[in-house]
Structure 1
Amino acid sequence: MSRIPALFQGLFDDAAVFPPGNLPVAEAVPAHRVHRSAWYAEAVGPLLCGAGRLGELAGAAGAADPVLRVGLVLPGGSAELGPALAAAAPFEIAGVELATRDAREAVAALDLLLPPDVPAAVELPRELLRGDGLDEVLDVLVDSPYRAKFRTGGLVAGAFPDEQELAAFLTGCAQRGLPYKCTAGLHNAVRHTDPVTGFEHHGFLNVLLAALATDRTAAAEVLAERSGEVLAKAVGELTGHQVTVIRNSFTAFGTCSIAEPLDDLAGLGLLPPSSPHQPPSQEDR
Structure 2
Amino acid sequence: MTAIETLLAGLFDYAGLYPPASLSLRSAANNYLEYRLSKHAGALGRFILNLDRLDEFRSVTADSSHHFALSVIAAENTDWAALAQGINSGLRFECLEIKCSEPSAIKRIAQQLPRNMMAYFEVPIHPSSRVALETIQENGARAKIRMGGVVPDAIPSVFDVAQMLKTLVDLRLPFKATAGLHHPLRSKQALTYNLEGPTGTMHGFVNLSCAAALLFFGGDVEEARCLLDEEDPAAWEIRADSLRWRNQAWTADQIANIRRDFFLGIGSCSFEEPIHDLESLGWL
**Which bin holds the TM-score, normalised by the shorter protein?**
0.7 to 0.9
1:153–1:184 Cα contact (<8 Å) kept? yes
- Mapping of 1:25-174 within 5 angstroms? 25-63=25-63, 66-74=66-74, 76-79=75-78, 81-87=80-86, 89-116=89-116, 118-124=117-123, 126=124, 129-131=125-127, 133-174=128-169
- Mapping of 1:172-251 within 5 angstroms? 172-194=167-189, 197-214=198-215, 215-233=220-238, 235-236=243-244, 237-247=249-259, 248-251=261-264
- Mapped to 2, the partners of 1:27 and 1:81 lie a distance apart of 29
Q: Using structure 2 for the length normalisation, give the TM-score.
A: 0.85
The one of 256, 260, 266 equivalent to 2:269 is 256
2:15–2:270 Cα contact (<8 Å) kept? yes
CA shift in 2, pair 1:2/1:54, >3 Å: farther
Q: CA deviation at 1:20?
A: 0.5
1:13–1:45 Cα contact (<8 Å) kept? yes
- Number of matched pairs: 265
- Mapped to 2, the partners of 1:42 and 1:209 lie a distance apart of 20
Find the residue that maps to 2:52 and give its secondary structure: helix
1:122–1:147 Cα contact (<8 Å) kept? yes
Moved more, 192-201 or 153-162: 192-201
CA deviation vs aligned residue, 1:162-187 (integer Å, no higher than 9, x gap): 10111111111112211100110001
The letter for the 1-side match of 2:38 is A
Find the residue that maps to 1:199 and give its secondary structure: strand
1:21–1:257 Cα contact (<8 Å) kept? yes
Find the residue that maps to 1:13 and give its secondary structure: strand
CA shift in 2, pair 1:192/1:52, >3 Å: same
Find the residue that maps to 1:18 and give its secondary structure: coil
CA shift in 2, pair 1:225/1:82, >3 Å: farther
2:103–2:131 Cα contact (<8 Å) kept? no
- Mapped to 1, the partners of 2:250 and 2:211 lie a distance apart of 12
Q: CA deviation at 1:51?
A: 1.9
| Structure with greater proportional strand content | 2
Find the residue that maps to 1:211 and give its secondary structure: helix
- Mapped to 2, the partners of 1:231 and 1:179 lie a distance apart of 25
CA shift in 2, pair 1:135/1:65, >3 Å: closer
Q: CA deviation at 1:256?
A: 0.8
- Mapped to 1, the partners of 2:69 and 2:200 lie a distance apart of 32
Q: CA deviation at 1:77?
A: 1.3
Q: Which runs of 5+ in 1 are unaligned?
A: 272-285
1:95–1:120 Cα contact (<8 Å) kept? yes
Find the residue that maps to 2:214 and give its secondary structure: coil
CA shift in 2, pair 1:264/1:78, >3 Å: same
The letter for the 2-side match of 1:176 is L
Greater RCO (CA < 8 Å, at least 6 residues apart): 2
Q: CA deviation at 1:262?
A: 0.7
- Mapped to 2, the partners of 1:208 and 1:58 lie a distance apart of 34
2:186–2:230 Cα contact (<8 Å) kept? yes
The letter for the 2-side match of 1:58 is R
